[in-house]
Amino acid sequence: MRVLVVYCHPVPDSFCAALRDVAIGTLTAQGWDVRLVDLYADGFDPVLGTDERRHYHDRAPADPALATHIGNLKWAEAILFVYPTWWYGLPAMLKGWLDRVWATDVAFKLPADGGRIVSLVPHITRIGVVTTCGAPWWMSMLMGQPGRKTILRGIRALCARRSRTLYVAHYDMDRSTPQSRAAFLKKVRRKVARF
């Protein structure tokens, strides 16, 4: 299967980078065809600009900087997001990737008569998230896990019907220990192997 790994963290030697490497290693070992998007390394601009917004409902975004990303969406059969959860949501950088790439005539079409939204990415059948949350599990539940829902409900709704999902999170990162992080890396390996 073809899997796009979308990775977002500003610090190259962060724990998230280790998660990315474990995820990619596991997927490759399973025979998956992996493509990596590293938003910070690529210097991606997450701000949906005036012109792009103006034509949002008329046509696919024209910025050549998005061409590779749009190509990746067409190519992928699965997407695995690896990022830190900040303020219970996605880092702005990653949110902007959704804002700009998951656009009209790329990810979906809106019928002019106001009918149901039509998916243009029904070939994506798996959506996964590997993340770290500063907050403990119970606090994340209390806040309603907005970040998880943006991806596993909002983005998933644009993909194949009944896409498979995966969500693995290291909660309470602010109190993590070498042991908890090692255990989490193991867990990610196990879960991603079954993705």
Interface stretch with another protein, choices 28-36, 123-131, 169-177, 178-186 (CB under 8 A): 169-177
Based on the shown chain and the rule CB under 8 A, indicate whether residue 1 belongs to the binding site for another protein.
no
- Return the CA Rg of the chain: 17
**What number of chain residues touch another protein (CB under 8 A)?**
48
Structure-token pair, residue 5: 């790994």
Asked if 32 contacts 80 with a C-beta cutoff of 8 angstroms, the reply is no
Strand order in the sheet with 78-85: 33-38, 2-7, 78-85, 126-133, 164-170
Q: Which is nearer to another protein, 11 or 183 (CB)?
A: 11
Residues 14-53: x where in contact with another protein by CB under 8 A, - otherwise, as a string: x-------------------------x-----xxxxx-xx
Beta strands in 50-91 (DSSP E): 78-85
The alpha carbon torsion through 20, 21, 26, 28 (nearest 10 deg) reads 100
Based on the shown chain and the rule CB under 8 A, indicate whether residue 102 belongs to the binding site for another protein.
yes
Q: Which is nearer to another protein, 122 or 146 (CB)?
A: 146
For residue 129, the SS3 value is strand
Residue 2 Cβ vs another protein, minimum distance, rounded to whole Å = 22
Residue 78 Cβ vs another protein, minimum distance, rounded to whole Å = 19
Q: How far is CA 43 from CA 6, 36, 82, 113, 181, in A?
A: 14, 14, 17, 38, 28
Which residues bind to another protein, rule: CB under 8 A?
9-12, 14, 40, 46-50, 52-54, 57, 86-93, 95-96, 98-99, 102, 110, 114, 117, 134-135, 142-147, 149-150, 153-155, 157, 172, 174-175
